[in-house]
Amino acid sequence: MKIKFLGGASEVGRLGMLMDDRFLFDYGFSPSKPPKYPLMASNAEVVFLSHCHVDHSGMIPLVCRKYNPKVLATSATAMLAELLATDSLKVCKYEGYPAPYKKSDIRSAMKNFEIIRYSDSVNVNGLRLRFHSAGHIPGSTMFEFNDSLFTSDLNTIDTQLVYGAKPVKCRNLFIEGTYSGREHPPRKEVENSFLEKIDEVVERGGKVIIPVFAVGRTQEVLMLLRNSGHEVWLDGMGKAVSRIFLENPDYLRSPKGLRNAMNKTKIVHSELGRKYALKGDVIVATSGMMDGGPVLGYMKHLKDDKNNAVLLTGYQVEGSNGRMLLDRKKLNFSGVTEPVNCGVEYFDFSAHCGHKELVGFVHGCEPENVIIYHSDDRKPLKNSLNEYNVHTPENNEVIEI
Ligand SMILES: [Zn+2]
Ligand SMILES: [Zn+2]
């Protein structure tokens, strides 16, 4: 087979892998400022969409308009991809960047989706396919085709939301390498110290603000907090995502647990609700890197009281508002940079394998060839995989396997 990455080979973001000029695995853009787009696909008969994050799904409406391919994805991924594509049009408009497609393209792309389930085994345009959970977020999928496996974003540890992914025997393994060379602390330790920190802040009379990604992290944090006894408020796009997760219970580790967490959470619906939320103990709000969303409005009220604390729960990329908060204790509010005096802490709730889990997964798959992508430093992972033929192609480079 002939493989070409259209984006996301030696970088985290804008992933697209074209196989034999017919099959496209994921097709997304990086939501940076300005957004970074992948190379144009020369053709696409079928798109295999692993999950909804825009760096994997954000270009689907465009490729559907151009080539009218089938798009294979789980029901959760399809519904969330529509929500996130619609949201990214709003973000483009707000930030003043040209949008890659129109709202009508999103609507018509949804007609191209063919819904798959993990237990399915099907033939599509000459490929024998099976689908497996990637353990990354609910509905995320690894594609097994012929004697190959495409993992896309991968997590092998159990989280509140999903069970970890299991290796699949294959000859060619296409694996992400986001955390090549970096490890995560044990999840249980992270969860415990996170909950202890929240108790400590509330006991000293402070309020906790938790910036979260809408998909996955919001729901994971709410599930963790469901027995904490604190008054927890939720604001932002995580509300709509939680509804979609609950409409697709097959993809949750515990639908009951998430339903219970949502029942115990107070939801902000209006400006008045925001005032009430500021009187509670904990506010969970988007966006996760604090580059927009309701979280900034809350921070404006809470940032100057030393008793309060902001707990970051996801990786903060270089150049993001959250990165500036971590490094310099400052935040940008609509163009004005202001100091932050409340507590600031980071907790590593990653939805990606750390280095040793990636290596363990490769061993479990027993492949001959390993192709690493979705990583800005593939060397450490490559060095840990001496016994395999490891490929680290660049974007636009064609390799034959
Ligand atoms: Zn992802
Ligand atoms: Zn990704």
| CA 39 – CA 24 distance, rounded (Å) | 12
Could you tell me if 155 and 284 lie in one domain? no
Q: Tell me the residues surrounding ligand 1 (ion) with CB < 5 Å.
A: 53, 153
Could you tell me if 60 and 134 lie in one domain? yes
Distance 26 CA to ligand 2 centre (A): 10
Of 323, 346, 369, which residue is a domain's last?
346
The values of phi and psi at residue 323, to 5°, are -65, -40
Of 330, 346, 362, which residue is a domain's last?
346
The number of distinct structural domains making up the chain is: 2
Check whether the bond before 34 is cis (ω within 30° of 0).
yes
Per-residue confidence at 318, pLDDT binned at 50, 70, 90?
Answer: confident
Distance 341 CA to ligand 2 centre (A): 33
- Per-residue pLDDT, averaged over 266-291, amounts to 97
pLDDT tens-digit map of 75-99: 999 999 999 999 999 999 988 999 9
pLDDT tens-digit map of 324-348: 999 999 999 999 999 999 999 999 9
Could you tell me if 230 and 140 lie in one domain? no
| CA 293 – CA 167 distance, rounded (Å) | 37
Distance 23 CA to ligand 1 centre (A): 20
Could you tell me if 47 and 161 lie in one domain? yes
Whether residue 214 is predicted with pLDDT greater than 90 in this model: the reply is yes
pLDDT computed for residue 33 by the predictor:
85
CATH number at residue 312: 3.40.50.10890
Distance 203 CA to ligand 2 centre (A): 37
pLDDT tens-digit map of 342-372: 999 999 999 999 999 999 999 999 999 999 9
Could you tell me if 175 and 191 lie in one domain? no
Give the residue numbers spanning the domain of 255: 187-346
160 to each of 188, 281, 347, 349, how far by Cα in Å?
Answer: 10, 22, 15, 11
Could you tell me if 158 and 245 lie in one domain? no
Could you tell me if 227 and 149 lie in one domain? no
Could you tell me if 255 and 307 lie in one domain? yes
Could you tell me if 130 and 8 lie in one domain? yes
Distance 152 CA to ligand 1 centre (A): 8
Per-residue confidence at 188, pLDDT binned at 50, 70, 90?
Answer: very high
Q: What percent of the chain has pLDDT over 90?
A: 97
- In 23-113, which residue ranges form alpha helices assigned H by DSSP? 54-57, 60-67, 75-95, 103-109
- In 96-175, which residue ranges form alpha helices assigned H by DSSP? 103-109
pLDDT tens-digit map of 287-310: 999 999 999 999 999 999 999 999
CATH number at residue 67: 3.60.15.10
